[in-house]
Structure 1
């Protein structure tokens, strides 16, 4: 018994020092990966408190450590909680990809409280049933009709479940951010008893109103797609409010003969410092690559970049073939390995497209 306890204590020493090989050896000798110290830490919890111990956390998960282990109290002190509280984006993504729970949204709330924007985006991107740019109306209803662009603002909208174990009926909430640089949301609205006023199918109006019936003072929010002809985005948003996730399309590889492209090293792929660029994930149709011609089916039917919504979409993602944004935005996305803004496929190369 004493020998096993000494092995468990030695495991913590190896974790603190980052000794991956020592951890593997002790695991083979029968050391308990779920043994807790006096503070209620497991070896994995300890590894999730420092960015330099990312490799240790990865090794412990590979060896079978429980990503949802927690002390008797507080029960929310899971490895994900510790990583989110310290802003360890890479560790957060590792835990989420290996089944970490986000019950009660405690890790997400910690990331918001400490203003770790990248961690907030990472958790929300993993759990949301909808995410994208929309326009929020804030003026009188009559003026909304007369001058919608002047009385609306562009906002980032996500719909997330309130628990990783979905209850019945499902519980979701609508979260609105003024920009992607913000860790704290401007609006959080429960959707379990919402009054959703959808536009009629043939009506020219493309906005939706959500009324929060849970609050003492009824709050309402009026949203519209961020791009013209955005009815498909609005439909996905309304479905998500009801607990129906937006569809995720598999990558589509087009056999397109591309013009001779310069080698990958010729492109400036230096990462831009700052908050992560979360691009719209809601496109009306799956685009088809078009080289030297107009692409009328890409996510921005007007030919605008899906990311900055300002510059023309003149970059093609290889190998998926989507003309999804401007060269500047796509180059940054590729450097940060976020994947195509349309289908999320890996981007091996970005090629400039010249439209005629």
Structure 2
């Protein structure tokens, strides 16, 4: 009479089998094992869960989708030399569709890895413009084209069009190792929408933000960065577009763009 396997041994082997089937891309088997009680968070010797593995290979997109649908932790953290969440790993490999899947499924884009990098930082380092813009648009309080004024103020009064330049800007929360800490906002300025590395990052929690005079034909917001003692004057991309400047000012004050857009819709009725 053969000995029966220890229940814990059976359970562990089923969990590991799910992991192996995920790597092999066998979606139906993964579903079946999950319905039989296999745990989705089994960790291999390198600290990878089945979802992390699926987010490291473009060919395993459907596996990642199924694992998430079955309840896999989209924010599972892998420590060590190759640290990060599934989002970090998808970004590192330039898997744009997987990145979108994770973000739409609740992945926290503000988590920092052991190298103190968010997924956005990794995307910038890798130079992947599509993923940079995807993450920014997901987490931003504001994003879009603006005009930045420069040069002496008295010259701007005579020829503002010659002393302004188009910039791409985003107001985004700073990354954190602790998701429970209050969000700190940054104003990130790029020379264009095709640049992955920002030209300027302004810590808004350490800046003075002057409310625009919306009675003026072409109002501007003035931001004084106290850490660098630098003053920035920004206006809407299109002269006289007060709604966009409202969005920017609200965002710098901590009001997300979607709330600002909702306010505009309510006011339009």
Q: TM-score range by the shorter chain?
A: 0.7 to 0.9
Query: How many angstroms apart in 2 are the aligned matches of 1:237 and 1:179?
Result: 17
Is the CA contact (8 Å cut-off) linking 1:130 and 1:245 kept in structure 2?
A: yes
Gaps of 5+ in 1: 251-281, 288-356
- Give the aligned partner of residue 136 of structure 2: 124
Aligned residues, how many? 252
Question: TM-score, with normalisation over the residues of structure 2?
Answer: 0.86
- Give the aligned partner of residue 102 of structure 2: 95
Question: TM-score, with normalisation over the residues of structure 1?
Answer: 0.66
Query: How many angstroms apart in 2 are the aligned matches of 1:221 and 1:47?
Result: 44
How far off its partner does 1:63 sit?
0.6
Structure 1 pair 74–219 and aligned structure 2 pair: CA distance change class (3 A): farther
Query: How many angstroms apart in 2 are the aligned matches of 1:75 and 1:52?
Result: 21
| Greater fraction helix | 2
Gaps of 5+ in 2: 1-7, 113-117
1:1-356 equivalent positions in 2, closer than 5 A = 1-73=8-80, 77-104=84-111, 106-163=118-175, 165=179, 167-168=181-182, 170-204=183-217, 206-213=219-226, 215=227, 217-246=228-257, 247-249=260-262
Write the deviation string for residues 93-146 of structure 1: whole angstroms up to 9, x where unpaired. 111111111234610100011111111111111111111110112222222222
Structure 1 pair 61–212 and aligned structure 2 pair: CA distance change class (3 A): same
Query: How many angstroms apart in 1 are the aligned matches of 2:49 and 2:218?
Result: 55
Query: How many angstroms apart in 2 are the aligned matches of 1:113 and 1:220?
Result: 28
How far off its partner does 1:230 sit?
1.1
Larger RCO, structure (CA 8 Å, separation 6 or more)? 2
CA RMSD of aligned residues (A): 2.4
Query: How many angstroms apart in 1 are the aligned matches of 2:172 and 2:12?
Result: 42
Query: How many angstroms apart in 2 are the aligned matches of 1:66 and 1:244?
Result: 29
